Structure 1
Amino acid sequence: MRDGEQTPGVSLMPEEKVWIARNLDSLGVDVIEAGSAVTSAGEREGIKAVVKERLNAEICSFARVLKQDIDCALECDVDSVHLVVSVSDLHIKAKLKKDRDSVRQMAVDAVEYAKKHGLIVELSGEDASRADLDYLTSVYRAGIDAGADRLCFCDTVGVMNPERTYDLFSRLTSELKVPISIHCHNDFGLATANTVAALRGGAAQCHVTVNGVGERAGNTAIEEVAVVLKSLYQVNTNLVLQNLYPTSKLVSRLMGIPVGTNKALVGENAFMHESGIHTHGLMANTATYEPITPETIGRKRQIVLGKHAGRTSVVLALREIGLEATDSQVDEITARIKDLGDKGKHVTDADLMSIADSVLDMQSEARIKLIDCTVLSGNHATPTASLKVTIDGQEVVESGVGLGPVDAALNALRKAVMGVADIKLEEYRVEAITGGTDALVEVWVKMSRGDRFISARGAGPDIIMASVIAFIEGMNRLVQEKNGISAKH
């Protein structure tokens, strides 16, 4: 949590730290680094709030190898400290302006002080990946002699590669007989690969953040490591994988950092399918185009429909939202979706639900069918509509005017079906299903014929066509048990 909160622009309130900590604990995280106690009074308040939760996880504070940092951690009553000391010559000379021996002694003094006050100590080498290995090892050995419980190797600027990481951890874990952690940054996109390589080389623990948040390009993502270990290496952890996605969503919301759409596992597109070829494979076996089931990490599969959609995609998408349709209804739904796709729009679940409901509510043997509708409107022109429909298979062409383009289209439709003159429009409502100027709109109408009332709806990117579709659907439902509609000639 501490390194994640160091993402530029992020500052968590104490109650937000508690929410995240609770979720991390439910996820099964072993150690929660709740913050850096020396940072501020507000930070200490947040760490104390996490400690008061009495979670199963060990609660840790980040600390430099300075007495004041350790005292602030003690004030928060944490279980452990993550003591960080610079170990590369670059950091020792440029940042600390000290020499190797004095820095090593600082580490020893800090470990002894923290242990004297009853803290679990993890001694961490900052910028270890650019440090002299013999010097790094000497600092680690001195730390162990001073009482350090764990060690940590920090790839502070993400310059390691998996091959070097594996070799280095194989050596360190064979020489140093205490647990060693790996702490990676993602500057070159290798944080997960390096973390897994370190674990393969003998690392006992890894430092991770939810969604890979952190400074610059972020840290190793917990969801990636957890699923890679389970799925690719058959290594079980204590993590409850089904809680990964809910935790990802919570952290994203509280930190105000959107997850990239193509982010592995937790990105919006991770279990989203559009291609007809892919969805055809999913129908046969979801493993054809999914390495794990979305439910593994608490997600659901999404079928996105657009111009690439085929009948198989539509059938699967309908099944995902609990709907069944006849072959002819699937054809109609597919045609409407492709039409939207050709206009550059993707159909969301909400869009699909509206389109499907509209089509499924229509009678398979609809007596009134729309062939074409054209509307003209302008600043000084009277809105005029012309449309072509078939009534019981006979073609009818009619026109009408109105106060607006929708009114004109519906008036033309009324004239086309004079045989049902007693149908009245009781209520008309328009809603945008999704945001944006290209939003799919849903038109609801309430219509009556005598003492019978029905509601109908139409959906599409064009409010006029959606209105006509809703009106025709309502007419068909009102006349389904009536006879006597005759086409005008």
Structure 2
Amino acid sequence: MILFENIRFLDTTLRDGEQTPGVALTREKKLLIARALDEMGVSVIEAGSAITSSGERESIKAVANDGLDAEICSYCRIVKADVDHALECDVDSIHLVAPVSDLHIKTKIKKDRDAVRQIAVEVTEYAKDHGLIVELSGEDSSRADLEFLKALYADGIDAGADRLCYCDTVGLLVPEKATEIFRDLSSSLKAPISIHCHNDFGFATANTVAALAGGAKQAHVTVNGLGERAGNAALEEVVMSLEWLYKYDTGINHEQIYRVSRLVSRLTGIPVSPNKALVGGNAFTHEAGIHVHGLLADKATYEPMGPEQIGRKRQIVLGKHAGRSSIAMALQEMGLEADEAQAGEIFNRVKQMGDQGKHVTDADLQTIAENVLDIYKESLVNLEEFTIVSGNRVTPTASIKLNVKDKEIIQAAIGNGPVDAVINAIRRAARSCAEDIVLEEYHVDAISGGTNALVEVRVKLSKEGKTVTASGARTDIIMASVEAVMNGMNRLITAE
């Protein structure tokens, strides 16, 4: 059984999407988005509503005259002045919207059903007389009397309407009802009909696909599901549901979906939710160790499709759920090799950061790994433990236990602060082999933001004319300082 045939897409990102609260697109931004949609293969681009303003008309006209392959459309009310303004913009078509529910007819335009039918016919004929393609749309169709809606559509067809549209204006459809309605409409009307869904109950994509299965020939969509309130049916979700789940070739260049999603997000200033289907930041990102272990064996274990299908790449992130497989894969991608002991220490440090609620970035991991790989070279001086006492009424004091050439040494020292105190204690404890080592420079960097960020401490140590630079990386600045000094000290002693 063929569920889908000759499906088209009308993208309304530049009109309904721009009605997202806080979004206002300039002429240049509309052109950039329109070009991206055209390159992706969208059939119709609703570039805006010409009645809105002179600036909006300039933007629509710029899109219409940009030489795109897509049909360029303007939204119009059933008002001849709207059509006149659309004609000024050189558009190919209009999306002519008539209120069809009694709620909208009586409270919004304060007319009756017969008046709406008559006006819709008059404006349709007017638009057709001026050479426009007309898509006659029923606003609030899902709350309209179906027989009245069919009568209005039939009037529109007689007046020359090329296409019809059913608008689920406040997202009240359910998939089962959508299929039933569109089977009825598509079999009883002699014009192709579109589906325009809003996402108030999270059903916009499901209702759109169900309507297409029932006989709709065109889906109204927006990139990233932008739109008023909870938004519209998302282009990426509808396209990839048809492509991947139903194996229907939409004709859309779906490898460009992610690029277009990012473009729209940047130009509208509306961030994509991390857990948004397909284009959200987490959609192809893996942290849990068991998932990454499965991915290493077969990518299909925890991915519904390859991220390259929409122009993305898979990501492995590290945190409290990370497993050794995650770290091994991430190190491999960085070109770093670690033995079992080194990998174990890297794993422990990542887990410590994760338990503190910290997400371990690529930069964090690289810093941790590089420090561990350096520290785990053969060391003559090794840290056993240390304790620091500090406060606004006490002199910072540090006690430390080191293993120096297989000999346990305990020492204490004071300093201007806790870091200074612990470094002084290290130098005292390691006096037998590090007496002449001088701390020349001390520098701290936070790898990422936040009070719990990974801190990298870099030190420059010298002894008898030889200088080394070493670093330590921890979420604790004192531990990072100890690590850096110990690392540099061992390198100087080994070189000597």
Q: Does the alignment pair 1:460 with 2:474?
A: yes
Equivalent residue for 1:364, pick from 367, 377, 383: 377
Map Cα deviations across residues 305-335 of structure 1 (whole Å, 9 max, x no partner).
2222221221123234443322211101011
5+ residue gaps, structure 1: 483-489
CA contact (8 A) 2:356 2:452 kept: no
Confirm whether residue 151 of structure 1 aligns to residue 164 of structure 2: yes
Q: 1:421 to 1:114 in 2, by over 3 A?
A: farther
Change (3 A) 1:385 1:152: same
Distance 1:149 1:392, change over 3 A: farther
Residue 70 (str. 1) matches residue 70 (str. 2): no
CA positional deviation for 1:271 = 1.9
Q: 1:201 aligns with which of 214, 229, 238?
A: 214
In structure 1, the residue matched to 2:428 is 415
Equivalent residues of 1:362, 1:477 under 8 A apart: no
Distance 1:367 1:72 in 2: 83
Classify the secondary structure of the residue corresponding to 1:447.
strand
Q: Residues 215-234 of structure 1: matches in 2 within 5 Å?
A: 215-234=228-247
In 1, distance between residues paired with 2:465 and 2:270? 55
CA deviations on 1:156-211 (whole Å, 9 max, x unpaired) are 11111111111211222222232221100011110010011111122221111111
- SS of the residue corresponding to residue 56 of structure 2 reads helix
Maintained 8 Å contact 2:342/2:376: no
Give the TM-score of the pair, scaled to structure 2: 0.92
Tell me, yes or no, if the aligned pair for 2:342 and 2:373 is still in contact at 8 Å: yes
Structure-2 separation of matches of 1:389 and 1:399: 11
Corresponding position: 1:427 with 2:441: yes
Cα distance in 1 for partners of 2:38, 2:336 equals: 38
Give the whole-Å Cα distance in 2 for the aligned partners of 1:366 and 1:239: 60
Q: Matched residue of 2:391: which SS?
A: coil
Residue 10 of structure 2 is matched in structure 1 by: none
Structure 2 counterpart SS, 1:382: strand
- Residues 363, 476 of structure 1: 8 Å contact kept: no
Provide Cα deviations, 1:421-458, integer angstroms capped at 9, x if missing partner: 34333332222222222222222223334454433322
For structure 2, the residue ranges without an aligned partner over 5 or more in a row are 1-12
Q: Deviations over 1:78-105 (max 9, x none)?
A: 2211111111122112212112122112
* Larger mean Cα displacement after TM superposition, 109-118 or 360-369: 360-369
Residue 442 of structure 2 corresponds to residue 439 of structure 1: no
C-alpha change, 1:481 and 1:189, in structure 2 (3 Å) is same
Q: CA deviation at 1:269?
A: 2.0
Alpha-carbon distance between aligned partners in 2 of 1:401 and 1:103, rounded to the nearest angstrom: 88
Q: Is the 8 A contact 2:65 2:90 kept in 1?
A: no
Residue matched to 2:6: none
Fraction of identical pairs, as percent: 63
CA–CA distance in structure 2, aligned partners of residues 350 and 39 of structure 1: 47
Q: Tell me the residue number matched to 2:483.
A: 469
Distance 2:74 2:329 in 1: 49
Q: 1:389-422 CA distances to partner (integer Å, 9 max, x unpaired)?
A: 3233333322222222222222222222221234
On the 8 A contact 1:388/1:396 being kept in 2, the answer is yes
Q: Measure the CA separation in 1 of the matches of 2:479 and 2:316.
A: 25
What residue is the counterpart of 2:330 in the other structure?
Answer: 317
* Map of 2:4 onto structure 1: none
Change (3 A) 1:296 1:450: farther
Does the 8 Å CA contact 1:61/1:82 hold for their aligned counterparts?
yes
Aligned partners of 2:41, 2:459: CA distance in 1, in Å? 51
Indicate the SS of the match to 1:96.
coil
1:284 matches 2:297: yes
Query: Counterparts of 1:33-48 in structure 2 under 5 Å?
Result: 33-48=46-61
Deviation, structure 1 residue 129: 1.2
Matches within 5 A, 1:183-332: 183-332=196-345
CA contact (8 A) 1:306 1:346 kept: yes
Q: Secondary structure at the match of 2:480?
A: helix
**Alignment partner of 1:114 is 2:127:** yes
Of 334, 337, 344 in structure 1, the residue corresponding to residue 350 of structure 2 is 337
After TM superposition, give the deviation of residue 11 of structure 1 in Å: 1.5
CA distance in 2, matches of 1:147, 1:435: 61
Q: What's the offset of the Cα at 1:55?
A: 2.2
Assess if the C-alpha contact under 8 Å between 1:275 and 1:308 holds in 2: yes
Q: What secondary structure does 1:265 align onto?
A: coil
Residue 439 of structure 1 aligns to which amino acid in structure 2?
A
Q: State the shift of 1:479 in Å.
A: 3.2
The aligned counterpart of 1:167 is: 180
Aligned letter for 2:298?
N
* Conserved 8 A contact 1:363-1:477: no
Distance 1:356 1:118 in 2: 67
Amino acid at match of 1:426: E
In the alignment, structure 1 residue 480 sits paired with structure 2 residue 494: yes
Native 8 Å contact 1:84 1:126 kept in 2: yes
Look up the match of 1:485: none
* 8 A contact 1:387–1:413 mirrored in 2: yes
Alignment correspondent of 2:7: none
* Alignment partner of 1:15 is 2:33: no
Length, aligned pairs only: 482
For residues 353-407 of structure 1, give each alpha carbon's deviation from its aligned partner in whole angstroms, at most 9, with x where no partner exists: 2211211233433333322232222223222222223233333322222222222
Letter in 2 for 1:339: Q
Query: Displacement of 1:343 after TM fit?
Result: 2.1
- CA distance 1:336–1:157, shift in 2 (3 Å): same
Cα distance change of structure 1 residues 421 and 80 upon mapping to structure 2, 3 Å threshold: farther
Give distance in 2, aligned partners of 1:397 and 1:351: 32
Does structure 1 conserve the Cα–Cα contact (< 8 Å) formed by 2:183 and 2:215? yes
Aligned with 1:224: secondary structure?
A: helix
Residue 367 (structure 2) aligns with: 354
Q: Equivalent residue of 2:395, what SS?
A: coil
After superposition, the CA RMSD in angstroms is 1.9
CA separation of 1:85/1:359 partners in 2, compared to 1, >3 Å: closer, same or farther? Answer: same
**TM-score after normalising by structure 1:** 0.93
| 2:168 counterpart letter in structure 1 | D
Q: Quote the Cα distance in structure 2 between the aligned partners of 1:283 and 1:47.
A: 49
Deviation string, structure 1 residues 7-33 (Cα, Å, up to 9, x no partner): 122222222222222222233222211
| CA distance in 2: counterparts of 1:331 and 1:47, whole angstroms | 59
Work out whether 1:398 is the aligned partner of 2:411. yes
